Amino acid sequence: VRAEIVGIGTELLLGQIANTNAQKISSALATIGVDVFFHSAVGDNLERMSQVIEGALRRSDVVITTGGLGPTPDDVTREAVAKVLGVGLTRNEDLAERLRSFFERRGRTMPESNLRQVDLPEGAVAITAEGTAPGFYVEHQMGTLIALPGVPWEMGAMLEKTVLPLLRERAGLMVTVSREVLVVGLGESHTHERIADIVDEQSNPTIAYLAGYGIVRVRLTAKAASEDSARALIEPVEKDIRSRLGEFAVVDGGSSLPQVVGNMLRRRGATVAVAESLTGGMIGAALTDAEGASDFFLGSAVAYATLAKREVLGVPEDVLDSNGPVSEQTARAMALGAARVFGADLGLSATGVAGPAEQDGSPVGTIYVGAHLGDRTEVRRVRGYGDRDSVRRIAVTAVLDLARRVLEA
C-alpha cells in the first residue's frame, strides 16, 4: 500500500505553521508497513486543491488530507474532494445532531455556519468529530481518500481510532520497523567514515543519517513479515554499528535523549533537577515531554538573570565575580545548586550565550554544561553553532549527553 499525505491550508504556504500533521501520520504509517512516498501541501484554493488531490490519487493507493474541514468559508476540502470524485455534497443528519448537542452540553449556542462541517461528499463514511470538525473517508475506484481535520490533536485521535485500523488490514504482511542509534559528539561525516562499509553492504535494513543540533541519528529500517522478524534483521547490524561508534553511541533505551536519561534514572530509582540559564526552561520541558516524568523529575530553576543564579541557586558571589555567569565554575556551582535546592540525586546545569550578541566577553555559542551526582561534578565546554534556537537546542543535547555519561559511569 502506497500512501500520500496532502496538507491543506494557506497558513502552510505562508509559513505560519509547520506541517507537523504530515510528520505524525508518516510516523504512524511506517509502523504498520504502509509506504509513504510523497507529501504535498496546497492552499485554501478550490482549483489547486482539486488538482493536487487528483494527482495524489493517480499515483498512490491511499490519500490522506489534513485541514480545510472547519466551519469558515476558507475551509473547502469537502468541496474539492466532491469535485475530484464527481459527486455532490449531502448533509449528514447524525453528525448535525452530534454537533448541536456538543454545543448544548457546553451551554453555548451553535453558530449556524457550523453546519457546513457536516456536508459530506456523497458516498463518504463519516468519522465522528473529536472537537467539532468531523472527518470522513471514501472508497473510490481511483483509490481511498481519507479527510482529517487540521487541528493536531483532533487529527491524531482520528488517526489512532479510525485510520490505522482501516489501513492495518490492508497493508497485509509486510511490516516496517525503524530503530535509531543516537550519536553525540561525532559529526555526520565522521560517523559515516566509521561505518561506511556496513552501510554499503546493507539493503535490509537500510541505513540513513539524520543530523541536527549536536546529534546524528543513524536510522536502520527493516521490512519483514512480522515485527519480530524485522527486529531480528536489525539487531546484528545495530550491534555492529554501536561497537564501531563506541562511547559516541548513546546506549539503547529510548528514541530520544530525554527518554534515554529518563529510563536510566527510573531504573536506578534516582531523581533529577536542573539549573538552566540560556535554555530558559527547555531542559525541563524536554525531560517532562513524555508521560511519567514525575517518577524522576523534581524541577528546574531557570536562573536567567545573574542575580537569580546567586539568590535562587546559591552560586557563590565570588564565583560569579571572578569567573562570570558563563564559565566552568558557574556551571559547576549551578549543577550542585540544582541538586541541593530540589534535593535531587542528579543535578544538571547549562549556562552560555545563545546570541545574537556576545555576553561579558564570551562569544555567541559558548556553552558550559554540568552534572553533579554523588560526590562527583563534571563540566564540559561545548561549542554551539547556528542561530539562537540552534545554540539553545545544542545546549539541551549536550547536557543530556553529559547526564547519560555520568549515569553510565
- Among residue numbers 323 through 382, which ones bind a second copy (CB under 8 A)? 341-343, 354-357
- If the CB atoms of residues 121 and 149 are measured against a second copy, the closer one turns out to be 149
Residue placing its CB nearer to a second copy in the complex, 1 or 285: 285
Distance separating alpha carbons of residues 3 and 144, to the nearest angstrom: 9
Taking the least distance from each CB to a second copy, the nearer of 338 and 402 is 338
Cβ closest to a second copy, residue 138 vs residue 248: 248
Listed ranges 134-142, 238-246, 301-309, 328-336: which one lies at the site for a second copy (CB under 8 A)? 301-309
- Given the complex with a second copy, which of 138 and 370 has the nearer CB atom? 370
Nearest distance from C-beta of residue 362 to a second copy, angstroms = 14
What's the min distance (Å) between Cβ of 404 and a second copy?
19
CB–CB of 28/159 below 8 Å? yes
Amino acid of residue 306:
T
Cα–Cα dist 83/381, whole Å: 59
Shortest distance (Å) from residue 87 CB to a second copy: 25
Could you count the other beta carbons within 10 Å of the beta carbon of residue 322?
A: 10
Enumerate residues 6+ apart whose C-beta is below 8 A from 397.
184, 213, 214, 215, 257
Alpha-carbon distance 385 to 406, whole Å?
24
Q: Which is nearer to a second copy, 111 or 269 (CB)?
A: 111
Interaction with a second copy in 59-88: which residues (CB under 8 A)?
70-74
Stretch that binds a second copy, among 12-20, 77-85, 165-173, 316-324 (CB under 8 A): 12-20
Q: 101-160: which residues touch a second copy (CB under 8 A)?
A: 108, 111, 113-114, 131-132, 151-154, 156-157
Number of CB atoms found within 10 A of residue 125's CB: 14
Show contacts with a second copy in window 176-235 (CB under 8 A): 178, 180, 188-190, 192-193, 196, 199-200, 208-212, 217, 219, 221
282 binds a second copy (CB under 8 A): yes
- In whole angstroms, give the CA distance from residue 49 to residue 127: 21
Q: For a second copy, which residue of 29, 64, 230, 399 counts as binding (CB under 8 A)? A: 29
28 vs 164, which CB is nearer to a second copy?
28
Smallest gap from Cβ 324 to a second copy, in A, equals 14
Q: Is 46 in the site for a second copy (CB under 8 A)?
A: no
Smallest gap from residue 308 Cβ to a second copy (A): 4
Considering the complex, state which of residue 11 and residue 240 has its C-beta at the smaller distance from a second copy.
11
Count of CB atoms within 10 A of residue 144's CB? 19
Comparing C-alpha atoms, which of 66, 67, 78, 155 is closest to residue 116?
A: 78
List, as own/partner pairs, every contact residues 133-137 make where C-beta atoms lie below 8 angstroms and the sequence separation is at least 24, other chains included: 133/69, 133/70, 133/71, 134/69, 134/92, 134/95, 135/69, 135/162, 137/162, 137/163, 137/166
Any idea what DSSP says for residue 279? T
Least distance (Å) between residue 77 CB and a second copy: 14
Binding residues for a second copy, rule CB under 8 A, total 113
> Least separation, in Å, of the C-beta of 409 and a second copy?
26
Contact region for a second copy (CB under 8 A) — 78-86, 165-173, 236-244, 303-311? 303-311
Cell of 307: 542575580
Is residue 24 at the binding interface for a second copy, with CB under 8 A as the rule?
yes
Q: Using the minimum distance from each CB to a second copy, give the nearer residue, 141 or 294.
A: 294
- Which segments of 202-281 does DSSP mark as H helices, in order? 227-245, 257-268
User: Which SS3 state, helix, strand or coil, does residue 387 take?
Assistant: coil
- Which run of H or of E encompasses 81? helix 77-85
- The residue among 140 and 309 lying less far from a second copy, judged by its C-beta, is 309
Query: Residue-wise over 280-304: b if at least 16 C-beta within 10 A, else e?
Result: eebbbebbbeeeebeebbbebbbbe
Least distance from a second copy to the Cβ atom of residue 32, Å:
12
